[in-house]
Amino acid sequence: MLNNTRVVLIISGGIAAYKSLDLIRRLRERGATVRAVLTKGAQQFITPLAVGALTAEKVYTELFDREAEQDVGHIRLARDNDLILIAPVTADLMAKMAHGIADDLATAVLLATDKPVLLAPAMNPKMWANPATARNVAALKSDRCSFIGPKAGEMAESGEAGVGRMAEPLEIVAAAEALLSEHVQQTAETLPLSGRHMVVTSGPTHEPIDPVRYLANRSSGKQGHAIAAAASAAGAKVTLVSGPVNLPDPADVTMIHVETAAEMLLAVTEALPADVAIMSAAVADWRVASEGQQKIKKDGSGAPPSLNLVENPDILATIGHHESLRPSLLIGFAAETQNLLENAKGKLERKRADWIVANDVSPETGIMGGDRNTVRIVSADGVEDWPALDKTEVARRLVSRIATHIGPAKS
């Protein structure tokens, strides 16, 4: 269950922190990638150097780390993982969690996360039995945090006996595996594309003529970006390959920015294999055979320069005819100004796509660059007409149709 998973391990202060070193080893034995966050208290017992040697990853200690926070580091730590594990967790850290305090890196990550959280408490028995701690534990359980331990036994630091010992590393690993298994099952029930990988292309491509000019089209990327966002919201792992657009990157997707058709084809093939590929980018059909190394100047004759054009690679056809990389569901777009259905049906057969999303992009429709779209879904089963819709609604309906067709990945 832990193979190929990403675990953020938060280590807080207490003598039990030494057990976290063995815990890291046990997690990595099972194939997990471990990124560690050490509180100031934890650093009194173990060093970032020791933890980093075992995780083989950067160790995070400071909320206001300028290098890490250039990419909103605490948000990335909170979201870019499958599980957050706190071992040991102290009474102080639990109190902060229960009351939404975020005054250091560990608490900021915990407040910002939407991932499963597993706590392994370790503290003096009287601290564990204190009514304030009991209230905090109850609050955290109601917030859907999970617990392993503490266990009964003798305390290392005081010689007292009672409930307060941190669970052993193998017990924590087993609890982590059980929690992830439960989370995967619940996610599959609520997110229809859970466990699926989807590759989406978006926007135009820019094919350079010289250092300052290029061939392009009027695609805004709004439809492709909306599809990527809708697929991510439905639980899919999404790779979005986008040409130059004036749009923010959708949340929780893997972004690959490209300029040309050749770069887009390379990025798409490197992102495969995938369960679904949606080729919604408006890729330029042509590029100049030889890009000018300097700006092409007027020569005073009044005659325009001669541009020798060659055909760009056809990304949809390349993927459609690929023996090993073709996804089980391949969807293309047909942006046409005439003979919409005829051209879409020809593209479906010629490029070995499963569905073609056809739309009329004549200037009077306002579709290319606009916020609304009118599409027709062409497949071997026939043609399905959709009404004029906002592009976000087109994306939602298309993703829903995909989910009905393939469903979540089998666990």
- Which residues are CB-contacts of 169 (< 8 A; sequence separation ≥ 6)? 19, 22, 23, 25, 26
Among 146, 165, 190, where does a domain finish? Answer: 190
Task: Indicate if the pLDDT at residue 152 is higher than 50.
Answer: yes
Q: Is 295 annotated as a binding residue?
A: yes
Query: What is the mean pLDDT of the segment spanning 249-268?
Result: 95
For residue 150, the model assigns a pLDDT of 93
Beta-strand pair 161-165/151-154: antiparallel
pLDDT band at 73 (very low <50, low <70, confident <90, very high): low
For residue 72, the model assigns a pLDDT of 43
Q: Is 71 annotated as a binding residue?
A: no
For residue 187, the model assigns a pLDDT of 65
Let me know how long the chain is.
411
Is 362 in the same domain as 337?
A: yes
Among 138, 173, 190, where does a domain finish? Answer: 190
Is 144 in the same domain as 250?
A: no
Other C-beta atoms closer than 10 Å to the C-beta of 366 total 12
Among 161, 190, 219, where does a domain finish? Answer: 190
- Read off the pLDDT of residues 319-353 as tens digits, 9 standing for 90 and up: 999 989 999 999 999 988 899 999 999 999 999 99
pLDDT band at 80 (very low <50, low <70, confident <90, very high): confident
Is 346 in the same domain as 255?
A: yes
Is 87 in the same domain as 212?
A: no
Distance, in Å, from the CA atom of 391 to the CA atom of 40, rounded to the nearest integer, reads 48
Q: Is 114 annotated as a binding residue?
A: no
For residue 71, the model assigns a pLDDT of 47
For residue 68, the model assigns a pLDDT of 53
Other C-beta atoms closer than 10 Å to the C-beta of 308 total 7
Is 235 in the same domain as 144?
A: no
Structure tokens at 80: 């870019």
- Structural domains in the chain (count): 2
Question: What are the C-alpha distances in Å from 343 to residues 339, 348, 357, 378?
Answer: 6, 9, 11, 11
Residue 354 domain flag = yes
- Which residues are CB-contacts of 281 (< 8 A; sequence separation ≥ 6)? 201, 202, 203, 204, 205, 219, 221, 224, 241, 242, 243, 264, 315, 333
Q: Residue 372 pairs with which residues in a beta bridge? A: 390
Our CA angle for 29, 35, 37, nearest 5°, is 130
For residue 303, the model assigns a pLDDT of 87
Q: Is 313 annotated as a binding residue?
A: yes
Give the CATH number of the domain where residue 353 resides. 3.40.50.10300
Distance, in Å, from the CA atom of 283 to the CA atom of 274, rounded to the nearest integer, reads 21
Question: Does residue 256 contact residue 239 with C-beta atoms inside 8 Å?
Answer: yes
Is 203 in the same domain as 147?
A: no
Give me the catalytic one of 4, 217, 308, 373: 217
Is 340 in the same domain as 361?
A: yes
Is 176 in the same domain as 250?
A: no
Residue 176 domain flag = yes
pLDDT band at 301 (very low <50, low <70, confident <90, very high): confident
Question: Does residue 24 contact residue 34 with C-beta atoms inside 8 Å?
Answer: yes
Query: Catalytic residue at 312?
Result: no
Whether this prediction's pTM lies above 0.85 is answered by no
For residue 407, the model assigns a pLDDT of 78
Is 391 in the same domain as 273?
A: yes
For residue 361, the model assigns a pLDDT of 87
Residue 80 domain flag = yes
Distance, in Å, from the CA atom of 283 to the CA atom of 122, rounded to the nearest integer, reads 57
Is 174 in the same domain as 152?
A: yes
Residue span of the structural domain in which 117 resides: 6-190
- Read off the pLDDT of residues 353-404 as tens digits, 9 standing for 90 and up: 999 999 988 888 888 778 899 999 999 999 999 999 999 999 999 999 999 9
Is 93 in the same domain as 123?
A: yes
Distance, in Å, from the CA atom of 205 to the CA atom of 226, rounded to the nearest integer, reads 18
Is 377 in the same domain as 248?
A: yes
For residue 252, the model assigns a pLDDT of 85
Q: Is 285 annotated as a binding residue?
A: yes
Q: Is 351 annotated as a binding residue?
A: yes
More confident residue, 1 or 237: 237
- Read off the pLDDT of residues 14-45 as tens digits, 9 standing for 90 and up: 899 999 999 999 999 999 999 999 999 999 99
Residue 1 domain flag = no
pLDDT band at 62 (very low <50, low <70, confident <90, very high): confident
Q: 327 preceded by cis ω (within 30°)?
A: no
Distance, in Å, from the CA atom of 78 to the CA atom of 132, rounded to the nearest integer, reads 27
- Mean pLDDT, the chain, whole residue set: 90
Phi first, then psi: what are they for 120, rounded to 5°?
A: -120, 90
Structure tokens at 75: 């948000």
Give the CATH number of the domain where residue 83 resides. 3.40.50.1950
